[in-house]
A and B are shown apart, each in its own frame.
Chain A
């Protein structure tokens, strides 16, 4: 038994899965500890509330509310599961965005900016093209493509800067993020797309449903009644599969991954490394743009346009999604769902207890923190004593470390 176990742990994939599970476990533990400490030290809460809180952090997705006696009840809750799938849609896509860049040795911290640009392009298209003269499905497709294109263009900027001028893509992405945040605010400030009809909605753009544009539900609403889920999740899964095929089965994917493993060796082998860096960032941007497009085209989601002071969390949350999945596109479908499951658990926590949804962000942050040294965890799992951290497979550490700063700003 023990031999089988160690043989299994020799496999890299198994080690990645084990490392991710360990990160998740520790992350959840951190969440529970914080719930316990804050609950016990607060006068309004107490041991009972702490017990409720911990159960919801771990199993919020199965929560069905409280019974007459005030105790928490658990069971299959179709609305929760449906909403989980709905919220997983953008997370899967931003996760893919970060993962594609990782595979090419780039750290795409620019997903929030690409997401915002995608959201703006999608919303403007979906609200401007009149559905009276153009069929709504065609507008939907047009808006979806506009979002993808805007994201791709925005992602290509740091890619170009990296490829041509060797500017650290992390710094470039941070700048483009905030430029996007201000640009999007500028686009919507004073525009005709702001929601002026409903009171208390001054900061929001109209829902796309106002123009009759929304993603089809086609039976998913029958399976998960009372939830927002639509065919966006199916598109996201299909895109994940497409990225998987692209990265593992095509020449283009091979070139991208080669550049990630060793940019200089790839160039020596006749691969145009500059072109591939731009391409990788453009694909990453396109995926982040698609995330925004699918989220806001659902018809009943609202976009808060005054974004210049804060970037959308869903962009940053693509990072843990990709890290937990070790940048494997298929695994990202599951880690994306896991992240949105935490999200739902947080919502349940706010609704049912004195705690609030931010604890799930703490859990996510703890997981990202642990992912930063997932290589170390992997090595510990395999029980090997090594003095040097090996080059990351698909991680950004390898590339960032090797270039020795030199020309990078």
Chain B
């Protein structure tokens, strides 16, 4: 029994949730870190066991303890595999909160993480950070990422960052999706679009395509100007107070928008917003408001399925498209068939699923920035699995995945175009070549 238990104060991992784990191990073969290293501490079962040991005072918050939680990608593949219904997401979130509050990281690590949390969830700051990337565009692959031959010139820590640096355009830096896009034809639903942070700055085209497609399918699409970050990155990194602050702001903004649905086109964001209820559990002022907003959230692919009979004519795009399941769509939201249905509605598209589709590509929020080695290994594993299918292009519903797979593909010498499924659908409706939309 230690005199210095690791978990203190509010926001601890829940004993009731931990007790759901029956230690069967079904999560192990689907956990990316167990697949890489085969060590129990870096498996969901092992991490839950550490949480339990922490709660029982049988473990201390040593650097080793922290490392095993840091190494977790938060991909939630374990949730999909678990037959006992263990809700791993709140467990890892709260464990990370405890670590951020009670563990003193080495200085350089602390500063790096603080920098990320100060910049990434704030689109205006992100614009400034990413502006210089405009100049670097000629040195990047088609989907972003500094070419490996050049990245090698930089120090190692920076290389990981440069490998996933997005290709930025002026339109992306300066422009924004229109505040209101009216429905084409009769209005079926009113929706508000979450523009995202990295998405709006680095992948403005995805937001534009989203607005166009939804409008073409009869939605009035609002993009509330006051919106900010949904809080996903800070939440998944254990900065729960920051996450709550950002969430409260967005809850107010989207309440004011007064729409039928809130649409996201980034897996992590959709997942975080659907979990707003949990984020404010027990909070008398915010709990119900949060739940009400959560109930309206849909990934764009889900919304399209919900809308029913498609209105806009899809023009053929003959292509072998490998669909990559972003973890926070597949595992986090259970959304697997809808993006495939979306792609399959385009004549000529052959939708393929790579082997080990349930295993994360290594992006996992800021994971590829703070754990570059395992992230790179996972990225290459993903790229190799994709390569065996000889695709014409990759489609995935998350900007992080796009950048991560782009980096891995570049490293292996591949040059596939990587798009968001909605971009492909948009191109099909407009009758343009999707490879020009990026």
Do A and B belong to a common assembly? no
What residues make up the interface of A, taking CB atoms closer than 8 Å to B? none
What residues make up the interface of B, taking CB atoms closer than 8 Å to A? none
